Amino acid sequence: MRTSLLFLGVFLILCSCTKKKEIERKDLPVKVSVTDSLSFKGIIAVQPLFQAVSEDYVFFRDVGSPRVMVFEKSGQLMYDWAKKGDDPGAFMIVTDNLVCTPMGELVTHDAMKGIKSFSPSGELVFSKKSMVPPDSFHELVNLFRTSQVIKKDGELYLLHHRDHMMRDQVWDPGFFRNRKNLLMTNLESGDQVQLLPFPEESKFLNGKAFVFEDFRPVFFFDDKEQLLYLIFQNEAILYQYDFSGEQPELINRFPLDIPGFVGSVGEEFENLRYGRLKGEEFAARVLGMEKVGDNILVSYTRSATSEELRELEGVEDRSERRKKVNALRGKLNPEVLIFRGGEVLTYHVDMPEMAFDSFRVFDDEFWFMKPGTKEEEQEDFTVYRGKLIFED
């Protein structure tokens, strides 16, 4: 009898320890508080989109054109240039959001034109064509970072997602088993390495087919710790890799248990066209990842509920349907969760109003724009800076 009770006690202790490892929802009160703003005047742009900050400059591009505007932090316009047509530095308007090197050079990446690096004045410094042409592109405009300049073994690389799918690819479960999801490009030699297959635990190895946006990765590489954090957009699992060697090695897997985040289970391959970009209109998505201090910040949207989707059924009037769709999108505005020390601290950060519901992080500061108030071209615009505040 004593032996049975002892066994039962040990069993309960083990169960208790296991539960403690699960991510719990704490909902600590956290906000981003505006600390400063920078004003930029006298430049006409259809939609200025803040992009990056260097030691000396603030970079913008104009949505709808391959145009870059470079300002001093005082607000003075220094350079205004565009790269299009037959220009060797031409890039597409659907390029990823721009990033900076430590030397202040601006890096563009799109799957058609490849990777380009420019001086602030627009001089082409580096160019590398993509490995293969794309079959799909980003559709949404936002400020989230989709690539990252990293340093390994004293050399600079651009770490970026493979936002393309090879033509003539066999479309079967082998596609997901064999796929590498990141590219790392040396910004001096142009050498490229494919990285990171799907982890064995990932749903993308379940034998089903998925739309492209489901498995596009968002990520952050910590240069100091040599750790890579990554999430696939429709899978609420944070993967942590040791990236001190040539290839990332998976060391941790953290299910995030995001409220209302319902991921796709996939479809049969014959029912899903190869290269299809989007799935359900109101699917759950992980949108971006940044690191502030020891905190991993994950921007996401939940799924629409069945009740919310039923409200759209049978609405044939275009104007009425548009109103209902916009109302639903308003309910699905992006949220930000904070992950630290193996657990989610909160699933909601109180954010200021932001253009495109998105932001960038530089030196632990949030940089963002406020929504515009008019549709015509703007001559004056402001960028705001903020800090992450844990409230008592």
The DSSP result for 328-342, as a single string, is HHHHT--EEEEEETT
CB 119 within 8 A of CB 107: no
Bridge partners, residue 340, by sequence: 343
Question: Could you give the CA distance from residue 96 to residue 144 in angstroms, rounded to a whole number?
Answer: 9
CB 198 within 8 A of CB 176: yes
pLDDT at 72: 94
**267: closest CA among 300, 234, 311?**
234
Give the right CATH number for 23-390 from 2.120.10.30, 2.60.120.560, 3.30.70.100, 3.60.110.10: 2.120.10.30
pLDDT at 2: 40
Looking at residues 50-74, what average pLDDT do you find? 91
Question: Could you give the CA distance from residue 219 to residue 58 in angstroms, rounded to a whole number?
Answer: 23
**75: closest CA among 97, 108, 48?**
48
pLDDT at 181: 94
Residue 124 has pLDDT above 70, yes or no: yes
Looking at residues 110-120, what average pLDDT do you find? 85
Looking at residues 223-227, what average pLDDT do you find? 95
Question: Could you give the CA distance from residue 67 to residue 48 in angstroms, rounded to a whole number?
Answer: 10
Average pLDDT score over the chain: 86
pLDDT at 23: 43
Please give the share of the chain, as a percent, with pLDDT higher than 90.
62
pLDDT at 133: 47
4 or 82, greater pLDDT: 82
Residue 3 has pLDDT above 70, yes or no: no
Looking at residues 112-119, what average pLDDT do you find? 87
Buried b vs exposed e over 264-273: b needs ≥16 C-beta within 10 Å?
A: bebeebeebe
Q: Which residues, including other chains, have CB under 8 Å from residue 115's CB and lie 6 or more apart?
A: 107, 108, 109, 126, 127, 128, 130, 158, 160, 185, 187
Looking at residues 253-281, what average pLDDT do you find? 92
Residue 386 has pLDDT above 50, yes or no: yes
Domain boundaries, the chain: 23-390
Angle at 357 between CA 354 and CA 362, to 5 degrees: 75
Q: Which of 42-51, 246-255, 329-338, 370-379 is most confident?
A: 246-255
Question: Could you give the CA distance from residue 70 to residue 47 in angstroms, rounded to a whole number?
Answer: 15
Convert the pLDDT of each residue in 5-41 to its tens digit: 333 343 333 333 333 334 444 678 999 999 999 998 8
Q: Report the residue count for the chain.
A: 392
Q: Which residues, including other chains, have CB under 8 Å from residue 235's CB and lie 6 or more apart?
A: 202, 203, 204, 214, 215, 263, 286
- 304 CA to centre of own chain: 20
Please tell me the least confidently modeled range out of 48-57, 111-120, 158-167, 249-258.
158-167
Please give the share of the chain, as a percent, with pLDDT higher than 70.
86
Looking at residues 332-350, what average pLDDT do you find? 96
pLDDT at 140: 67
Residue 58 has pLDDT above 60, yes or no: yes
202 or 12, greater pLDDT: 202
